[in-house]
Structure formats: C-alpha cells, structure tokens
Structure 1
Amino acid sequence: MSSEDKRVAVKTYVPAYQKKRWREHADQLGMSQSEFLRTMVQAGRRGFDLAEKSEEGGPDTTNPGGNVLESRIHDLLESEGTLDWDELREELAVDLEDRMDEALSALQDRNQVKYSGRDGGYTLTDEGGAR
C-alpha cells in the first residue's frame, strides 16, 4: 500500500440533527457513515470544480450542447480512469441521490414537502401546494 492509499482519520463537528440526517441517508443507501461522507465531499468538490471552470473561462467550450450528463461522465472517466457500465451508473446514481436529498431537505425546511409514513412517501404540505 502506497502512502497515498493509506487511510487517515478526519474529524469534524456538526449539529446533532445534521449527523442524524447523514446517518439516516447513509443507511438508506446501504453505506457506512464514512463512505457516505467521502462520497458527499467528493460530489461537493466536483461542484466547486465546475463553478471554478465556469468563472474562469465562461461556458465549457468542450461541450457546446451543454449536456450535463455527458460532462459528468467525461469528468468521471478523466478522474477515475476506465469504469464499466455498472461503475458509471453507481457514480451517477450517487450524484442524483445527493441532489435529491438536498432538494427534499430544502423543500422540507420551507415546509413545502413532508415525509408521510402513512402515505408511504413524500407529499406536498398545505404551504407546498402553490409555487
């Protein structure tokens, strides 16, 4: 194992409700908390990388059609090397699940959406009916 592959601990402090939310999401995805946080950080860094590219050089001229999925696949293959179909699908699914979680959290924070165990899923609240 090279020194770059050696695992080291990282410690941070977050509010208890945030840790609980992350733990629940990790459980839903069948991931450990460490794996979930690594994935979240990497996804966030990709977002920063895209923002930096657009600020520095305007629109991405290598993808004039602006197809986000094509750009994401290109970035994955550039950073990870060769990936098979299942590996690509898994990476893309993590990104989608992260974005869904963020969007649902934002909607819940604004009391527009709630999770209903009785109804078996997410549903609009009275405040969420009108946009």
Structure 2
Amino acid sequence: MDYFPRYSQPFTLAEATNLDVSIITDEIARLQNSLKHLRETQDLLKSALGESGEPDEELQKALEENETVIGSQEERISILKLALSQKGVSTSDSHYDSQPSPPVNPRFTAVVNAPTPQLSERGDNDEGVYL
C-alpha cells in the first residue's frame, strides 16, 4: 500500500511498519499529548487575538504555524495507525483516539480520585517519608 503524505514526515509508511508495535504506540501517545498541548495553545492564542484591539502579527503567525504542525502531527498519527493495521493490530477501538473515553467502572474512578492517605502521623515536615 502506498501512502502519499500531504506534509513532510520524518518517516515513510514502510519505515513505520518496520518498527516494533511498542515504539509505534508510544509515538502515537507522544503525538497525541503534543496535539493536546498545541490545541490548548491555539485556544489561548485565539483568545489573545480576540482581546486585542489591533491585529498582532506575531500571534497570528504563531497561530498559523501551529495549524501546520497540528496537521502534520495528525497525519503522522494516521501513518502510524496504518502501520499498526499492516502489522495486524486493530486500531478501530478508542485506545488510539486522541480523546480518551470516559471510565467504564465508576467504582474504579472513585478509588483513583480518593484522597491519598497520610504516610506520617508525626506532624513534622522534615525531609524523608515516615512510614
């Protein structure tokens, strides 16, 4: 299968297919995290541009550059998902989507969000952990 990327990429589909599954999935996770932060930055830039009365060329340039980076990283994730598919790994579940699914088991969520028990009853805040 040939894949012709729209953006310049650091690897081809064939090269990605030669990588270990764990490397591919780690890279997908890294790129998804990067996209999350880029999108947050875009929201801040748009807000700043909307608040200022005059157009700010630097902010506008940053906004446009980030759009290009976002497109490139989304395409890179697509290439990596294609590589996983060619290796026989299903990417149809939500595990590889950029938006995490809500937790299925509410009891598990409650445990995760429960306050951490105190490790020390000594009351002093010296260095170290007292068990």
TM score, norm. by length of structure 1: 0.29
TM score, norm. by length of structure 2: 0.29
Flag the structure with more relative contact order, 1 or 2, with Cα contacts below 8 A and sequence separation at least 6. Answer: 2
* Bigger strand share: 1
